[in-house]
A and B are shown apart, each in its own frame.
Chain A
């Protein structure tokens, strides 16, 4: 069974550019989460989807970040325009039910120069 997959694994962009990260959750998992770890900090929650609906986006830093999950399958996280402080590792995770263990993808290392 395929795990959570993320693309790309690394992205290097310049300040002001746009980047789109993609996450494919485990098949059948309705719950999809985005997390981020910036240098020297804890992994932080960004948002939570149940199928195609955003249930909680309280962790999104600002309106430069836009997450979508059209059709309730894969999800994208777009950063536009990117700023230096957006650099970090973006993890996607999925789970079958709430309050249940999360399976994480390998992450996208984003570097904004």
Chain B
């Protein structure tokens, strides 16, 4: 079992729709969770961080965390073609020094 799992996609949504990206992790003691966006050939760019159960909203983005289910998700409202990228879920280990990444989900937003 991978430590951080994501559906590789591609996930295709029409412009203006809600994109829902999911991630599960195996380490129950993990405390810090991140979503990064990566455009082709570019560096990962942090979108959201979440540390507590529940929802965290920032503009069009909402991160959701459920530690009991070991599940973290990212919702993108009013999806735009510029949101088309690979979205990486990342989880810190207990020591807070090693970030483990999922394989990423490729999102395609069609005009």
Starting from the known contacts A43-B101, A104-B43, A106-B42, 6 additional A-B residue pairs (CB-CB under 8 Å) come to: A56-B95, A93-B99, A99-B31, A101-B46, A104-B45, A106-B43
A104 touches B92 (CB 8 A): no
B44 contacts the other chain (Cβ, under 8 Å)? yes
Count A-B pairs with CB separation below 8 Å. 54
Interface positions of A (Cβ within 8 A of B): 4, 31, 33, 35, 41-45, 48, 55-56, 58-59, 91, 93, 98-107
- Pairwise interchain contact A102-B101, C-beta atoms closer than 8 A: no
Interface of B with A (CB < 8 Å)? 2, 4, 31-32, 34, 36, 42-46, 49, 88, 92, 95-104
Query: Beyond A31-B97, A56-B97, A99-B31, is A104–B44 a contact (Cβ under 8 Å)?
Result: yes
The residue that B103 contacts in the complex, of A33, A41, A45, A101, with Cβ under 8 A, is A41
Q: Which of A4, A56, A101, A103 contacts B98 (CB 8 A)?
A: A56
Residue of B31, B49, B97 touching A101 (CB-CB under 8 A) = B49
Question: Closest CB of chain B to A111's CB: distance in Å?
Answer: 14
Contacts A99-B31, A99-B32, A101-B49; is A45 near B98 (CB within 8 Å)? Answer: yes
Rounded to whole angstroms, the CA-CA distance of A100 and B34 in the bound complex is 10
- Complex Cα gap A31–B92 (Å): 14
- Contact residues in B for A101 (Cβ distance below 8 Å): 34, 46, 49
In the complex, the answer to whether A102 meets B97 with C-beta atoms within 8 Å is no
Please judge, given known A-B contacts A42-B102, A42-B103, A99-B32, whether A105 and B97 are in contact too, CB under 8 Å. Answer: no
